[in-house]
Amino acid sequence: MSPSVQQAVEALREHFGTRLSTGAAHREQHGRGEAFAQAFPPDAVIWPENTGEVSLIMRTCHELRVPVIAYGAGTSLEGHVSAPRGGICLDMTRMDLVLAVHADDADCVVQPGVTREALNTFLRDTGLFFPVDPGANATLGGMISTRASGTTTVRYGTIAHNVLALEVVLANGDVVRCGSRARKSSAGYDLVRLMTGAEGTLGIITEATLRLHGQPEAVGSAVCSFGDLRGAVEAVIELIQSGAPLARIEFLDEVQVRACNLYSKMSLREEPTLFIEFHGTENSVKEQFERAREVVQSHGATGFDWAADEQRRSQLWRARHAAYFAALGLRPGCECVVADVCVPISGLAECVAAARREIDAAGLIAPIVGHVGDGNFHVLFLLKPGDTEERARMERVYDAMIEHAHRLDGTCTGEHGIGLGKRDKLVAEFGETVVALMRRLKEAWDPHDILNPGKVFQT
């Protein structure tokens, strides 16, 4: 622990007492998220309980030039929450209150440590829900910071479309509010969208006003499988182009279906498969289902099981959400690297097929899943821990996937963010000049580089 960190810890211990820990177990636990191999424990962990406490920490760390890293549920996949330069981890999970629900305006105000599942449980009897669903039960602060999206984005947008306002503590401890509860605004630079996806490098989010949506009157799900990948993806393209208001449309390749069958005790055909969900009125859900059936069948789909009942639907989506754990089950004891690229939908079939070919040619085990309505897909690389040669093969395949996405004017990350893992890919995507713009912005707002330093780009 450097002298300056030591000094900060001593200064802050006075206020936080046992809510500040330098214990090895706490530090280890906060040194990494999920599925990112490298761990860098912070020097200390603090559990703040309100905005004033976050401001106090920032003031102290600003004065002493100590790095500060915010930590939510720890479900980040790109090393966002690790502390490669040491410093203080803010575990935000005690700031977990839903502060207000404005049912008339379909919005709510939450602290950053509220998880998406906790929020939806809280909202259950209001007729409203928060739709953004990245799979993991992440905290809302973390979801905002990584610009999360997930299965429902095709209908309800990413989290960036669903944040109305933020309270943020800046590098020097100043507390600011950006945005408002108005549904739209042209008032100055859009700092809400700038903070969304900034991975904690521009400020610490201490409160968020979120847009809610009416719980759909009726929900229907359907599953179908295809003889080959191309049929599945072409069905998706046609569905999206027809303007069908699908609520979710998820792809699982045959390897992932096998994993789900094993893990979730299902008996789906082990072929490229789509899970589709429809939201609307009873009539419109039925109409959507019938139209979708026509489309998928014209692309050679087998089966188009209607899962209108809650139980069957829950089973399906639980299986989809468990895809990560199901994949891990394919190779007991493995580590998993979850690749994430997003391309214009016209290039999706080509990209997924190329990924599958390269995975197989490299002798890797890796199911593929995708939020295909958005052109976003994930390869779940299952790796033997410590096998550097296998990891190198994986990296070659992943690099080729990203290059492919870039050739199609896609992105190196649809929803997981840059963190530590993809800083060179950010440069590949936009060029040095754009990354320099981001860096200049960061320097202007955080001149001592204490907010999650070294994430998003080298500093």
Taking CB under 8 A as the criterion, which residues in 315-354 touch a second copy? Answer: 342-346
- Please, which residue, 49 or 424, has the CB nearer to a second copy? 424
Q: Judge whether 383 and 336 are in contact, CB under 8 Å.
A: yes
Of the candidates 82, 81, 68, 6, which has an alpha carbon nearest to the alpha carbon of residue 448? 68
Q: Judged by CB under 8 A, which stretch of 20-28, 90-98, 387-395, 421-429 contacts a second copy?
A: 421-429
Residue position matching structure tokens 């305006």 = 105
Footprint (CB under 8 A) of a second copy, residues 232-271: 237, 240-243, 245
* Closest separation in Å from C-beta 346 to a second copy: 4
Pairwise CA distance, residues 129 & 320, whole Å: 20
Does 294 sit near a second copy (CB under 8 A)? Answer: no
Strand 88-91, strand 44-46: pairing? parallel
Does 157 sit near a second copy (CB under 8 A)? Answer: yes
Q: Of the candidates 1, 25, 187, 262, which one interacts with a second copy according to CB under 8 A?
A: 187
User: For the chain, how many residues are written?
Assistant: 459
Q: Judge whether 451 and 68 are in contact, CB under 8 Å.
A: yes
- Please, which residue, 282 or 387, has the CB nearer to a second copy? 282
Footprint (CB under 8 A) of a second copy, residues 65-124: 102-107
Pairwise CA distance, residues 128 & 130, whole Å: 7
# binding residues, a second copy (CB under 8 A)? 93
- Please, which residue, 9 or 402, has the CB nearer to a second copy? 402
Q: Of the candidates 422, 450, 451, 452, which one interacts with a second copy according to CB under 8 A?
A: 422
- Please, which residue, 114 or 165, has the CB nearer to a second copy? 165
Q: Judge whether 288 and 280 are in contact, CB under 8 Å.
A: yes
Pairwise CA distance, residues 202 & 209, whole Å: 18
- Please, which residue, 160 or 362, has the CB nearer to a second copy? 160
- Please, which residue, 3 or 243, has the CB nearer to a second copy? 243
Q: What is the DSSP string of 329-342?
A: HTSTT-EEEEEEEE
Residue position matching structure tokens 């429902």 = 152
Q: Of the candidates 97, 160, 219, 322, which one interacts with a second copy according to CB under 8 A?
A: 160
Strand 88-91, strand 68-71: pairing? parallel
Does 277 sit near a second copy (CB under 8 A)? Answer: no
Structure tokens at 45: 């962990």
Footprint (CB under 8 A) of a second copy, residues 32-51: none
- Please, which residue, 82 or 162, has the CB nearer to a second copy? 162
